[in-house]
Structures are given as C-alpha cells and as structure tokens.
Amino acid sequence: MAKLWGGRFELESSSLLEEFNASILFDKILWREDIQGSKAHAQMLEKIGVLSKDELAQILQGLESIAQEIESGDFSFKISDEDIHMAIESALTKRIGEVGKKLHTARSRNDQVAVDFRLFVLRNNKEIQTLLLDLMQTLLDIAQEHTQSIMPGMTHLQHAQPINFGFHLIAWACNFKRDVERLEDDYKRNNFCPLGSGALAGTPYGNDREFLAQTLGFAKPTLNAMDSVSDRDFALDMLYSLSMIAMHLSRVAEELVLWSSAEFKFVSLSDAYATGSSIMPQKKNPDVPELLRGKSGRVYGSLIGLLSVMKGLPFAYNKDTQEDKEGVFDAIKNVKISLRIAKECIQTMTIHTENMAKMAKCGHLSATDLADFLVRECGVAFRDAHHITGQVVAYAEHKGVDISELAESEILSIDSRIKAGVKAVLALESSMNARDTLGGTSSKQTQIQINELMGFVAQRLKECNG
C-alpha cells in the first residue's frame, strides 16, 4: 500500500520492514493525545491563515468523528499505517477528502510524537498523584485508629523498641508523600509544549507556538526546536518516579508478606485479596503483596532500558526514540494497578493488635528505658546502668518472662542502686510514650504526624478536584 511518505520511493516496503518499523500496535494508546494535538494544530493553522474557517471546521469535525470511532472500538488500526499519527491523518483524508491533506502543514511527526507522548505522560502524572493520595488517605485512616496499639519496632528485623502501629503506617505514608512531591516537580519541569518545532529547526509558516501551548494546557512553549524533538527527559523523569513508587510499594509489600505469615500474624489479608494453592488445600497465599514486590523489577527495567536507548543518540529525532514508549506504557499501567490494589489490600486486612502486643513483650524492648531510668533517676553512670540492666534482663530470661512483666520488688532486689518506681518505666506503653520528641513514636507525636499528612492529602486532593 502507498505510504504517506512514499513519493520518492520506487519499491513498496517489504512486509518485514513494515512489521519491524511500525509502532501502531503500541502507540495507538496515544490516540486521544494525537487528536487533541491535531485539533490544536489545525486551530493554529487557521489563526495564521493557512486554513480557512470552513476548512478548519471540516478538519475538526473529521477528527472528532475519528475520536468517536476509536472510542467505540470500531476503528481498525492497520500495520501499514505505521504509527498513530499516520493512521489518524489518513483516516481523516479518507473521511473529509482533500482538505485532510492540509493538516500536516507546518508540522512533522517529530514534534507531533513529542507533544503526544508528553501530554500522555503529564496526564498520567496527575492520575498517579491522585492514586498515591488515595493510598495515603487509607493509611492515615488506619493509623488514626492505632496510635495506642503497641507493636515491636524493629531494626535488622530484630525486636528493638516498642512503637505503635499508627507510627509504623505513617513511616509508609511518608514515602508516598515524597512520591507525590516528586511527580509535582516532574510536572513543573516538563510542562512545556514542543509542538511547532517542526522536524528539528522550526517552520517557515510562523506557527503561533504560544497559542499551541495555551490551547494544549502547557505553561509555555519549549525554548529550542532541536531540543524539543530529541528530548525524552519527561519520560525518564516519569520512569524514575515510577521506579521509586514501585520500590516503596515493594517494601510495604514485603512487610505485608512477613506480617501475614504464621510467624508474625500481625495481619490477615482478606480472602478477596489472597489466593489459594492448587495442591495444598489449607494454604492462603499473599500473592497480592508478592506481585506488588515483583512489579518493581519491570519498572526499573524500563528506566534502564530508556536510559540505554537515549545514550549516544545524536541530537534531534532518531528512530531509536520510537523505543521510548512501550516501557513507559507498561510502567504506568503496572504502577497504577499496583497503587489501586495496595490500597484495597491494606484497607481490607484484619489487624491483630493483640498479637502485636504479645510480640512486643518478646525481647525486653524496654531495656533501654531501664538504663535511662538508672542514669536519670538513680544517678548511675551509663556504662554501669547498661550492666545493671543486663543483669535484670538475665534474671527475666531465666524466669522465662519479659522484663516488663517482672514485679517491682523482684527488680529492686537485683541491685541496690535501682530505685522505686522502676516498674512503671518498664511498661511498654510508657516506653513508647517516653519517645515524645518531634518525629517520635509517642501517641501524641504520632497524632501530630497524622495531622500533618492529613493536611497534605486534603490540600492536594482539593487542588486535583478543583
């Protein structure tokens, strides 16, 4: 079949070339942005006198009817059309005749693909911000219920100090807050319109690039035409931000896998978000968190893939750049569904605070508090306090209990330097609430952190909806 660019060619494309060269099978996902870009371009052409009002009306109507056909699933994408830009342009000419052929005046596929892809990435940037905020909201709602629920805080995955469950969830939420802020930064950095750059050097038609930028919702036109058609930083920024989100989800997921095991039993996943084994009838597997953890691999892969494609490309457009899309589409799709299901999985899990509390009594988590008590209240030097505390721990170990379970009289009998009132200090709750400095785990400080994040989420959601 004759190509839109076929004028100088004597032979038809080989079918293998068509298959190798075409991007239509994956870039058809850009159809909305392609039509949006073409409408803005046509309006601009009318504004600068290239199209008449009537021609513009025909083109806009033609593009709109193509959009409806694609939306309804009736449009057939053919590999011979090569990419979404040519598929839509030839459909337009078929539909409205000769006038359709004027649409590509003062435009190249190089600035066309640059604007389509950028619009797509920016639209998804906003959508992913909203999904992150939804997930944060869920974490905050649960945290709010658990500022007093004691659990073992761990370092090296070993019991360390008592914390509350709300505090732990806030630690997760802080990661997603930074993800939102990173996407906001990406948006600002890349919110410039490349359309009107032509093939690489601008156009001789006097394209009104301010008008294009404004019509398409960008802050401004890009500065340099050559940079505009060769820049894929917006896609790389997105892939890096998606990689960070995937990494954060993976760490959260890892904790869910651990916590839902018989060894921890801190949570039970809802049946709706767990799966069975084909051979072991008793099993309930945490497939959702495991997949959340696993998805990070392909997202990082896409980032490294595109960095590798871009490295060494001479400036302006090169066909290599066509390899920029699939990884971005895949990463966006997978991070979006991951954020949705992470939220639902967390929202529906049962939280076993009694098991958390029980496990917090394993490992003498308030030992540091005893040492601090000896220093502060009993005038003992820290090194000696450390030693005396060690003796109390040994005593409790011997008895098979946690130090927080010893009676006051028992503790006093271990060393004469220990003063009355020690029992209260060893209680896990007082240990947790003693950590009352800014950012600490006391119920009061946890509440302050919740309030701060609640404010962040509410303000951003208002902006998104407003």
Q: Which residues bind ligand ARG (CB under 6 A)?
A: 23, 27, 83, 109-110, 113, 317, 319, 321-322
Cα gap 362→384, rounded to integer Å: 24
Cβ of residue 319: shortest distance to ligand ARG, in angstroms?
A: 6
Give the Cα separation of 159 and 354 in Å (integer): 17
d(CA 271, CA 260): 12
Under DSSP, is residue 442 helix (H, G, I), strand (E, B) or coil?
A: coil
Number of C-beta neighbours around residue 209 at 10 A: 22
Burial of 147 (0-12, 13-18, 19+ CB in 10 A): buried
CB 199 to ligand ARG: min, Å = 7
As measured in angstroms, the least distance from the Cβ of 299 to ligand ARG is 21
Q: Is the dihedral of CA 346, 349, 350, 351 positive or negative?
A: negative
**DSSP 8-state code for residue 365:** T
Minimal distance, residue 110 CB to ligand ARG, in Å: 5
**Quick check: 95 and 65 in contact, CB under 8 A?**
yes
- Cα gap 325→310, rounded to integer Å: 12
- Closest to ligand ARG by CB, 214 vs 318, is 318
Measured CA to CA, the distance from residue 374 to residue 199 in angstroms comes to 76
Looking at 72, 156, 398, 416, which residue is catalytic? Answer: 156
Burial label, 227 (beta-carbon count in 10 A; 0-12, 13-18, 19+): middle
In the chain, the amino acid numbered 281 is P
Shortest CB 36 distance to ligand ARG, Å: 16
Residue 32 in contact with residue 67, Cβ under 8 Å? yes
Beta bridge partners of 268: 350
Is residue 15 annotated as part of the catalytic site, yes or no?
Answer: no
Nearer to ligand ARG, 195 or 249 (CB): 195
Of 162 and 196, CB closest to ligand ARG: 196
Q: Pairing relation of β-strands 350-351 and 267-268?
A: antiparallel
Q: CB-based contacts of 266: which residues, under 8 Å, 6+ apart?
A: 151, 259, 260, 351, 352, 355, 356, 359
123's tokens: 């639209």
Could you tell me the smallest distance in angstroms from the CB atom of residue 19 to ligand ARG? 14
Q: Which is nearer to ligand ARG, 313 or 337 (CB)?
A: 313
Please say which residue, 253 or 328, places its beta carbon nearer to ligand ARG.
Answer: 328
Nearer Cβ to ligand ARG, position 23 or 334?
A: 23
Kindly tell me which of 30 and 388 has the beta carbon lying closer to ligand ARG.
30
Indicate if 387 belongs to the active site.
no
Which of 14, 15, 52, 277 is an active site residue? 277
Compute how many other C-beta atoms are within 10 angstroms of the C-beta atom of residue 384.
15
Closer to ligand ARG by Cβ: residue 118 or 364: 118
CB of 251 to ligand ARG, least distance (A): 35
At residue 317's C-alpha, the angle toward residues 325 and 221, to 5°, is 85
- Reading the block at residue 196, the tokens are 């009107």
Nearest approach, Cβ of 87 to ligand ARG (angstroms)? 10
Largest Cα span, the chain: 102
Phi, psi (5° rounding) for residue 316?
80, -175
Active site residues: 156, 277
